[in-house]
């Protein structure tokens, strides 16, 4: 494979806080960045003229639902809230076959790759009424798109998973881990009252048994009495040996400052990464409330405690979120506005922090780093987030995959 020279591209330096950068040439060789500077083109080298483009590490989508993507026109959510979306999906399972799901999911994954994502972690519904259809569909998609984007599959265990009534669900999620899922997932806060701890214990034990990481839908509610994140931090600290990610964590945002700080410190000490999901949580949470709360986790408290805080888009044009462009700049923009992050901080939530939350290697625009990169027509990170230009070039391990 010939080397590639990216000419006159803008590189942001950390000490400039994402405000500006230097123009340089970047050489990609054998899947990595080999040189940065004022470089002359070598014989036979592929040369990309990129004056006016900003070069950034490719993003990682830490939380998606590829199996539900693009269902907005087919499955309506007239109430616009979380339970309305869940009910709508349950009522329309008969519409969702394996191949049909795979086609929609592949479309979404390829759109993500073209927009600058190098990897996506997707939760796949694993419920008694749906069986393993989503696991089968995403396993096929993972194979189909492997040349442009990595797909990691989370078995999203349904509920109840506890007690005698949860026996079939426990068996199903265990089977899912044997036939294609990579990560154990679930929704402990939707268990019957008092069963969240038991459900969390089961999911952590299953992950231990199969040697997998855990990514749980945690406290996706504005109910301040729901404290599943605290339970997860306690159980993780007790000796769980794999990576743990808590997605949503909305109720933490409703707590008083002292409680937020106390739980955030526990989360950081336990090494749990938190994924904020502004698109879907802002759409679903707080309907009918007056005053209307901000449906988002306590980003500031978690960051202050030293926890990894990533950001994802969650749902893509389905009953849980009718909008979305599968674009990391869109997510970063929402984190800027809704979570009060500065633009360079918001970009980190969809790139470096999202890579950490999903256990992926860090990528930087430095010599020696893997060449998973996106170039966008902009001068600064702020400008890239503000405009989200369609003019992008994406490389995967040094090979151009878009356009």
What CATH number corresponds to the domain at position 161? 3.20.20.140
> Do residues 85 and 191 share a domain?
yes
Q: How many CB atoms are located within 10 Å of the residue 27 CB?
A: 22
pLDDT above 90 covers a percentage of the chain that reads 96
> Do residues 269 and 140 share a domain?
yes
- State the Cα–Cα distance between residues 46 and 279, nearest whole angstrom: 39
> Do residues 218 and 250 share a domain?
yes
Read off the pTM.
0.95
- The pLDDT assigned to 21 comes to 76
- Identify the domain containing residue 384 by its residue range: 4-58+363-402
- The pLDDT assigned to 17 comes to 52
> Do residues 256 and 290 share a domain?
yes
> Do residues 35 and 166 share a domain?
no
The pLDDT tens digits for 112-154 are 999 999 999 999 999 999 999 999 999 999 999 999 999 999 9
Residue 246, C-beta contacts closer than 8 angstroms, at least 6 positions apart: 215, 216, 218, 219, 229, 232, 267, 272, 273, 274, 275
Q: Which residues of the chain have pLDDT under 50?
A: 16, 18
Residue at a domain's end among 320, 338, 357: 357
- The pLDDT assigned to 20 comes to 57
- The pLDDT assigned to 18 comes to 47
Q: Supply the residues annotated as catalytic.
A: 220
> Do residues 304 and 320 share a domain?
yes
Q: Give the number of domains in the chain.
A: 2
> Do residues 240 and 368 share a domain?
no
What CATH number corresponds to the domain at position 18? 2.30.40.10
> Do residues 338 and 371 share a domain?
no
- State the Cα–Cα distance between residues 347 and 341, nearest whole angstrom: 9
- The pLDDT assigned to 2 comes to 84
> Do residues 141 and 16 share a domain?
no
- State the Cα–Cα distance between residues 272 and 385, nearest whole angstrom: 27
> Do residues 294 and 395 share a domain?
no
The pLDDT tens digits for 298-330 are 999 999 999 999 999 999 999 999 999 999 999
- The pLDDT assigned to 214 comes to 98
> Do residues 250 and 311 share a domain?
yes
> Do residues 393 and 249 share a domain?
no
């Amino acid at each position: 494979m010939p080397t590639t020279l990216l000419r006159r591209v803008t590189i942001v330096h950390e000490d400039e806080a994402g405000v500006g950068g230097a123009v340089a040439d970047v050489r990609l060789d054998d899947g990595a960045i080999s040189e940065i500077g004022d470089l002359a083109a070598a014989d036979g080298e592929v040369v990309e003229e990129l004056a006016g483009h900003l070069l950034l590490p490719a993003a990682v989508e830490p939380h998606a639902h590829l199996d539900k993507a693009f269902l907005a026109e087919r499955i309506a959510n007239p109430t616009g809230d979380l339970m309305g979306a869940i009910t709508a999906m349950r009522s329309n399972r008969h519409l969702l076959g394996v191949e049909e799901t795979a086609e929609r999911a592949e479309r979404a994954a390829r759109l993500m790759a073209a927009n600058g994502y190098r990897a996506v972690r997707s939760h796949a519904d694993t419920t008694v009424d749906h069986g393993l259809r989503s696991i089968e569909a995403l396993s096929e998609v993972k194979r189909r798109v492997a040349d442009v984007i990595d797909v990691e599959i989370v078995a999203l265990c349904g509920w109840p998973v506890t007690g005698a009534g949860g026996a079939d669900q426990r068996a199903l999620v265990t089977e899912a881990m044997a036939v294609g899922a990579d990560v154990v997932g679930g929704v402990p806060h939707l268990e019957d009252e008092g069963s969240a701890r038991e459900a969390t214990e089961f999911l952590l034990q299953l992950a231990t048994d199969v040697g997998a990481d855990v990514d749980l839908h945690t406290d996706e509610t504005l109910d301040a009495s729901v404290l599943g994140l605290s339970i997860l931090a306690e159980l993780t600290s007790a000796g769980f040996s794999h990576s743990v990610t808590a997605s949503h964590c909305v109720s933490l945002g409703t707590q008083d400052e002292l409680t937020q700080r106390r739980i955030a410190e526990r989360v950081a000490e336990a090494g749990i990464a938190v994924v904020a999901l502004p698109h879907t949580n802002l759409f679903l949470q707080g309907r009918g409330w007056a005053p209307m709360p901000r449906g988002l986790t306590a980003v500031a408290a978690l960051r202050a405690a030293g926890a990894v805080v990533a950001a994802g888009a969650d749902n893509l044009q389905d009953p849980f979120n009718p909008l979305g462009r599968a674009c990391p700049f869109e997510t970063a923009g929402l984190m800027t506005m809704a979570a009060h992050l500065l633009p360079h901080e918001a970009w980190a939530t969809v790139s470096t922090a999202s890579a950490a939350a999903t256990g992926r290697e860090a990528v930087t625009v430095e010599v020696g780093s893997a060449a998973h990169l996106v170039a966008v027509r902009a001068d600064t990170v702020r400008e890239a987030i503000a405009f989200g230009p369609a003019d992008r070039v994406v490389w995967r391990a040094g090979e151009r995959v878009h356009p």
